[in-house]
Structure 1
Amino acid sequence: MSRELAAAVRNYRRRAGLTQEGLAAASGLSPSVVCKVEQGGEVRVDTLHALARGLGVPTSALFTTEALEPVVGDEANQRYLVELRGALMPPVGLSGPVPGTADPPDLSAVLKEIGAGYSLYQADRYDSVAKKLPGMLRATAAAAALLTDEDPQRVAEARSRCLLLTGSYLTQVRQYDLAYYALAEGIRVAGEVGDTFVAATGVGAMCWLLLRQERFDESEQLAAATALTIEPRFSGATPAELALWGDLSLRMAAAAVRNNRPDVAREARRMASTAAGALGTEYTDNEYRRSTFGPVTAEMKAVEDLSVLGDARGVLRRSDDGLLSPGAVGHYGRPSPNNWNRHRLDVAKAHAALGSHQEAMDELTALRRTSPEWLKHQTMARHVMSDILRRRKRTLTRDMREMAAHLAVVG
């Protein structure tokens, strides 16, 4: 952590009239953690959330702009992304993008391929998605450039959906600058032909990207403005419209709770619950987003708030109860794999925080069994495993050693 960020925490503490011990008590942290932060030591973002709550300021107030540290170990990803990067961002000359040699594509076949790509993405088959994306990007770019006899609206739909899938994939694998470019282009293409629904799905993905970049203010404001624009008339809204509005409400709440804005988060959660109640069951948009929203998803995200707030007992109390009980999930429908996996990762984090290492390992092992590729890309999973390794007094079990290797965590 930088000296400037350390100074910001120290100055806010003094302004609040708190000692290090007082800030530790208000934040639910140990005094040694506060001391480490103010000395410029490395610290996790969830610790900064806790400090912001203790100081009564938005989390974003503690972030500062600094010179970047050298990036180490990303050479392989750069090589793996060469083809995708070229398809997404072709060379630009004096006359604009250098034209490719692609023939006019069969747009129906391309749209079918994009749909298959979304299904692969939801199934966490990221290698397969990555291999498909360059061809789909080139095909939709050729269709947009040539247009021939195709309907411009249909061409724009194919191009925007392909770009939004690309942006979502790149966000998942933490290639954020590339992801931003893909999402911004997808939103622009859909907006230019007046396809507000597809553009708004892209905004939802953009909010997720901003959240991962810790741009909480912007994520919350973008989600709120877009939700206001597309707010449906509940009496005549389609399930897809309700799900999209509810999803944007979840994005707003996620950003607000991380930014220490509990009142905004509560209102956004209320909006999401209203949409979920109107749907009645989990709804999956199989045409555009391949994502799921409903009562179970809304409840999982409310439990996620407790995880962000460090309420491990609250997470465990609600994790398998009410709408998240097996019977309720069977009745209302199962949420998307990514959302369900995130929920179980919150459960693992809660067990680890309370010292229940075997229970945390059980959750991680189950996630590795069902979603090994997804798990590899989760920073929280590495943090949970690191905590287990650090606190474990006895010899590590075989499962612990194998999980540490899977997540590339060194004790």
Structure 2
Amino acid sequence: MTDHLTIGERVAWYRRRRGQSQEVLAGLVGRTVDWLSKVENDRIELDRLSVIKSLAVALDVSLGDLLSEPSLLEWTPESGDRTVPALRAAITDYRQLSPLLSLVEAHEPASLSELQAEIADIWDAYQESRYGLVIRRLPTLLTEAQHAARTYDGDEQLRAQALLGQAYHAAATILVKIGEADLAWIAAERGLTHAQNSGDQIVTASLFRSVTHALLATGRYDAATHLTSDVTGLLDGQLGGASPALLSVHGTLLLAGSMAAARAEDRSTVRAFLAEADQSARRLGGDANHVWTAFGPTNVAIHRVATAIELGDVQVAVDIGPDLDTSALPIERRARHGLAVAQAFSMWNRTEQALDAMLAVERIAPEQLRHHFLSRQLVLSWIRRQRGKPSRPLADLARRLHVA
């Protein structure tokens, strides 16, 4: 019902459904009636998640209700015609609740090397922003990995548990991206259980990153910040002779935590997390992609831009973001940074530069652009700002994003 509304228009829609006056809602979020009126009429753009979250709390709706993140994945040759519902069925299969409910499989489990190769392929596809392919292959992978974890024993079972944890990690990551935050939480929780059962430190730490992202997606910024502090605190004593993989996972945990702290408007914690991540990146010696983290100095710089946007430091983001060379990173990271640059230009009222940045993202990662709430909200806000007809490039992009 609210898919084609801006965030401000959605605030007005939910406020009226709640029977609240503008005076009441403005008071609940510590703002003036004039400010709220301008928000609801798109004369002030809601471009910080911390502010959007405060409105969601006051309206007693989820963050996703105001962002209107879709989970409708377009059918493509790579996705086929069974997408998110098939993945939801695999994750919520009742037979996972207890070994007593497991059915006897008619076939032998896949070899552990085959499962590892499939997991690597899915993570590679994710980093290439091929969302349809990832969603199509995950249900089968989860089913096969569960079968392996139930069937193997001894050391092989421990390895199978770790692989199942990695499969759930991939599921949680893509589900956050397409707006299925609650299902992502279930996948992250299940994955963490299997990772801990395996005793694999790297996989377990990676799953904590999934939990952090799931908390971020549901607007639980303080909890995500505290989780980052707790987990990195546990890892700190093991970093003396840490492997590149552990340094990378530790660093990406801190980067996720920096975003949580920024959305909680905790500047000192943002600085602390970024400084610690920068130390891990320097120890790593350069950009890398251990355990599909894309971690290194460039990813730290990307998060300096992203956290500056969340904190409202637009000048910092505009000064750093456009000139940051991300060409050596996976497409997913390059595209997400490109969206951040578009957001920074938009906040600076440089719509043409923002549109150019978004079109550059579309050229390398069209699926990622279509499924990110930010791209749709920016395009909607640009169209609303136009006094006449929108430009042809903007109108065409709006049609491709299904917002006009």
Contact 1:102 1:142 in 2 (8 A): no
The amino acid across from 2:301 in the alignment is E
Contact 2:69 2:372 in 1 (8 A): no
Match of 1:316 among 297, 301, 318: 318
Instruction: Name the residue aligned to 1:80.
Output: 83
> Could you tell me the TM-score, scaled by structure 2's length?
0.82
What is the deviation of 1:32?
A: 3.2
Mapping of 1:174-185 within 5 angstroms? 174-185=179-190
What is the deviation of 1:196?
A: 2.2
Instruction: Name the residue aligned to 1:10.
Output: 27
What is the deviation of 1:107?
A: 2.3
Contact 1:319 1:347 in 2 (8 A): yes
Residues of 2 paired with 1:72 and 1:214: CA distance? 13
The amino acid across from 1:224 in the alignment is S
User: Which runs of 5 or more residues in structure 2 are unaligned?
Assistant: 1-10, 75-80
Contact 1:90 1:97 in 2 (8 A): no
Deviates more, 1:63-72 or 1:349-358: 63-72
The amino acid across from 1:249 in the alignment is L
Instruction: Name the residue aligned to 1:375.
Output: 369
Contact 1:114 1:161 in 2 (8 A): yes
Instruction: Name the residue aligned to 1:229.
Output: 234
Residues of 1 paired with 2:179 and 2:303: CA distance? 21
Using a 3 Å threshold, how does the CA distance of structure 1 residues 43 and 361 change in structure 2: closer, same or farther?
A: closer
Using a 3 Å threshold, how does the CA distance of structure 1 residues 35 and 320 change in structure 2: closer, same or farther?
A: closer
Q: Are 2:222 and 1:209 aligned?
A: no
User: Which runs of 5 or more residues in structure 1 are unaligned?
Assistant: 14-18, 21-30, 52-58
Q: Are 2:399 and 1:405 aligned?
A: yes
Using a 3 Å threshold, how does the CA distance of structure 1 residues 148 and 256 change in structure 2: closer, same or farther?
A: closer
What is the deviation of 1:36?
A: 5.5
Instruction: Name the residue aligned to 1:238.
Output: 243
The amino acid across from 1:90 in the alignment is D
- The alignment partner of 2:292 has SS state of coil
Match of 2:333 among 339, 344, 347: 339
**Cα RMSD, aligned residues only:** 3.3
Match of 1:292 among 272, 291, 294: 294
Residues of 2 paired with 1:40 and 1:390: CA distance? 10
Instruction: Name the residue aligned to 2:132.
Output: 127
Residues of 1 paired with 2:192 and 2:119: CA distance? 16
Provide, for residues 121-155 of structure 1, a one-character-per-residue CA deviation record: whole Å limited to 9, x for no partner: 11111111112111111111111222268712211
Contact 1:8 1:62 in 2 (8 A): no
What is the deviation of 1:79?
A: 6.7
Instruction: Name the residue aligned to 1:49.
Output: 50
What is the deviation of 1:211?
A: 0.7
Mapping of 1:7-406 within 5 angstroms? 7=24, 9-11=26-28, 13=30, 20=32, 32-35=34-37, 46=47, 49=50, 63-64=57-58, 66=60, 80-92=83-95, 96-99=100-103, 101-104=105-108, 105-147=110-152, 151-231=156-236, 233-285=238-290, 289-321=291-323, 324=324, 326=325, 334-406=328-400
Provide, for residues 52-97 of structure 1, a one-character-per-residue CA deviation record: whole Å limited to 9, x for no partner: xxxxxxx669725737879998788997333322322223599843
Deviates more, 1:297-306 or 1:390-399: 390-399
Q: Which has the higher contact order (CA 8 A, sep 6+)?
A: 2
Using a 3 Å threshold, how does the CA distance of structure 1 residues 42 and 319 change in structure 2: closer, same or farther?
A: closer
Provide, for residues 190-213 of structure 1, a one-character-per-residue CA deviation record: whole Å limited to 9, x for no partner: 102322220110111111121111
Residues of 1 paired with 2:390 and 2:281: CA distance? 43
What is the deviation of 1:41?
A: 10
